Amino acid sequence: MRFSMLQLLKNLRTHSQGKEITDADILNWANNKVKKAGRTSQMESFKDKSLSSGIFFLELLSAVEPRVVNWGLVTKGETDEDKKLNATYIISVARKLGCSIFLLPEDVIEVNQKMMLTLTASIMYWSLQQQEAASEDGEISDEISAEGRKNETGLSGETSYLAVDSESSKTEE
């Protein structure tokens, strides 16, 4: 698991036009994605206690793939049970998209800083891969290609295909 997490972060770094990606870059990317989607939640840091409700990550997932979150299944995240339901749903949605997920619902509820970073980085990596695939197909919008490449750390022309299929990820957990 540790190798996979480090590999994910390494792949993000190698796709950022040679510059090291910092925690702040990942944090800013996530906040910008959520804001551009018209949502109001933001995270101050990866140890922000408001993350325990799960709402921010559901909004981030919805920002990178608009129809993926069924908001009828989302709770306010005020009670421990609601937080656990949201955290479980975050993991389910992220895996459905194809993100490499290494955390448990408890990591979200307890706001485990390293796991929050890894979750956000995994969503970021997935999103950047989708943008790159769309640009290769000529389907990317002018806004994303011009504005997004600057603000979202940019990608070089190479793709590293880091993928964990759902069957093998079950055995690694």
CATH code for the domain in which residue 167 is found: 1.10.418.10
Number of domains in the chain: 1
Cα dihedral across residues 34, 117, 24, 94: positive or negative: negative
The pLDDT tens digits of the residues spanning 114-170 come to 999 999 999 998 998 888 788 776 644 444 444 444 444 444 333 333 333 344 444
Residues 6+ apart with CB under 8 A from 30: 43, 56, 60, 120, 123, 124
In this predicted model, which residue has the larger pLDDT, 49 or 2?
Answer: 49
In this structure, which amino acid lies at residue 87? A
In this structure, which amino acid lies at residue 71? W
Domain range enclosing 140: 2-172
